[in-house]
Amino acid sequence: MIVQIDKQLSAPEIQKTIDKIKSLGYTITQVTTQQAYYLVCHGKNEIDIRFIGALSGVKDVHVVSDSYKLVSRKWKVATSQVDLGNNIIIGDGSCSIIAGPCAIESEEQVLSIVKHLVENNIKIMRGGVFKPRSSPYTFRGMGIEGLKMFHNICNQYGIRIITEIMEIEQIESMYDYVDIFQVGARNSQNFNLLDVLGKVDKPVLLKRGISGTIDELLHSAEYIFSSGNEKLMLCERGIRTFENAYRNTFDINAIPLLKEKTHLPIIADPSHGIGIREFVPAIALASIIAGADGLIYEVHENPEEAVSDGRQTLNFSESGSLLKKISAHTAIMQNSTYN
Ligand code: PEP
Ligand code: MN
């Protein structure tokens, strides 16, 4: 059960309401987010909620039987929106596009990609400066100086930045230069990091773990939300299966299922999802049809020379052609006879 409490209620009044709910056999976690104050109550699912609704300061009550509660669609029917300012909103029903290189490499590289994004009206750029690499001998990112350069350029063009955070200690130094913190697949269950990101007032994109189940992803999201951060999005990026004909198996099933289970926006990553450049557009389009709120994909002026993930990275002409197809699909899907 989720009980939303009026933030203005006095501490003694809150305590009275808490004691009353506890006396009914519930354990309570108090959650204060940027937007609201909730009591997340675990216990029986069958209760006459009129009784709870009548307690002092109670604004809203929802019975949520899922073990993850705050991210469940059972209490919040509308998709949550993540507002990045200047009318850049994820989860508003349009397909948000995030594009950029796997890794930030140089000023020239960032400038060339920014130019491509501006030409195509893309407002959010991805690019890692701390790269989790399978081998310690490969490029591990430009670090904080690279992030400052990335931010400086994007800032001039009104482009928002998403970049991966790998550990708690990086948050403070990255904070001023990041619009969305990306939690990568390898950190999807780093609960200490998730807890701390819950206390940060910046949006988070949480990726599914390499072998993560949907249930695990939703519970990881619950860590962030219940620590206080409602500005949250999930990302399907493919999972490891027995199939090795491609890098990962993009789980298209996850998209409609997640849309049904959670109110959080769902972003598809077709680049890591299949890992083969030629097929990225097909998976991107399939994701949109499956109901994704947005896409994050890798693009580079010259993917053959990219320092990481070139094999799954689109060049500008491939990216431009994908964007044209996305617009055509969006137009069809907005046609009421299609729906
Ligand atoms: C990335 O987005 O560059 C990345 C490393 O992704 P993932 O965490 O999904 O492997
Ligand atoms: Mn990558």
- Note the pLDDT tens digit of each residue in 270-295: 999 999 999 999 999 999 999 999 99
| Host H or E run for residue 97 | strand 96-100
User: How sure is the predictor about 112, in pLDDT bands with cuts at 50, 70 and 90?
Assistant: very high
Separation in Å, CA 163 to CA 135, 222, 278, 283 = 20, 21, 25, 22
Q: Which atom of ligand 1 is the closest one to the Cα of 308? A: 3
How far is the centre of ligand 2, averaged over its atoms, from the C-alpha of 229 (Å)? 26
Predicted confidence (pLDDT) at residue 338 exceeds the cutoff of 70? no
pLDDT tens digits along 211-269:
999 999 999 999 999 999 999 999 999 999 999 999 999 999 999 999 999 999 999 99
- Say if ligand 1 is within 6 A of residue 208 CB: no
pLDDT tens digits along 55-66:
999 999 999 999
CB 129 within 8 A of CB 326: no
How far is the centre of ligand 1, averaged over its atoms, from the C-alpha of 43 (Å)? 37
Question: Nearest C-alpha to atom 1 of ligand 1 is from which residue?
Answer: 102
User: How sure is the predictor about 333, in pLDDT bands with cuts at 50, 70 and 90?
Assistant: confident
User: How sure is the predictor about 332, in pLDDT bands with cuts at 50, 70 and 90?
Assistant: confident
| Host H or E run for residue 288 | helix 280-290
> Would you tell me how many other CB atoms lie within 10 Å of the CB of residue 192?
11
Q: Which atom of ligand 1 is the closest one to the Cα of 208? A: 9
- Say if ligand 1 is within 6 A of residue 185 CB: yes
The tokens 């490029």 sit on which residue?
A: 139
pLDDT tens digits along 182-193:
999 999 999 999
- Say if ligand 1 is within 6 A of residue 104 CB: no
Question: Nearest C-alpha to atom 9 of ligand 1 is from which residue?
Answer: 185
Q: Which residues contact 181 (CB under 8 A, 6 or more apart)?
A: 162, 163, 164, 165, 171, 174, 197, 200, 202, 203, 204, 205
- Say if ligand 1 is within 6 A of residue 207 CB: yes
Tell me how far apart the terminal alpha carbons of the chain are, to the nearest angstrom.
Answer: 34
Nearest residue to 260 (alpha-carbon basis) of 96, 95, 81, 66: 66
The tokens 């690279």 sit on which residue?
A: 146
Cα dihedral 189, 83, 273, 76 sign: positive
Average pLDDT over residues 9-21: 95
248: left (phi over 0), alpha (psi -120 to 50) or beta: beta
Q: Which atom of ligand 1 is the closest one to the Cα of 184? A: 8
pLDDT at 47: 87
How far is the centre of ligand 1, averaged over its atoms, from the C-alpha of 187 (Å)? 10
**Rounded Cα gap, residues 43 and 1, in angstroms:** 8
How buried is 217 (Cβ within 10 angstroms: 0-12 exposed, 13-18 middle, 19+ buried)?
A: buried
Instruction: Compute the mean pLDDT over every residue in the chain, rounded to the nearest whole number.
Output: 96
How far is the centre of ligand 2, averaged over its atoms, from the C-alpha of 135 (Å)? 14
How far is the centre of ligand 1, averaged over its atoms, from the C-alpha of 185 (Å)? 6
User: How sure is the predictor about 45, in pLDDT bands with cuts at 50, 70 and 90?
Assistant: confident
pTM passes above 0.95? yes
Predicted confidence (pLDDT) at residue 321 exceeds the cutoff of 60? yes
In percent, the amount of the chain with pLDDT more than 90 equals: 94
Give the closest ligand to the alpha carbon of residue 185: 1
**Which of 104, 135, 237 is the pocket-test mutation for ligand 1 (most atoms within 8 Å of CB)?**
237
How far is the centre of ligand 2, averaged over its atoms, from the C-alpha of 237 (Å)? 10
Nearest residue to 264 (alpha-carbon basis) of 91, 120, 83, 10: 91
CB 289 within 8 A of CB 334: no
**Rounded Cα gap, residues 243 and 177, in angstroms:** 38
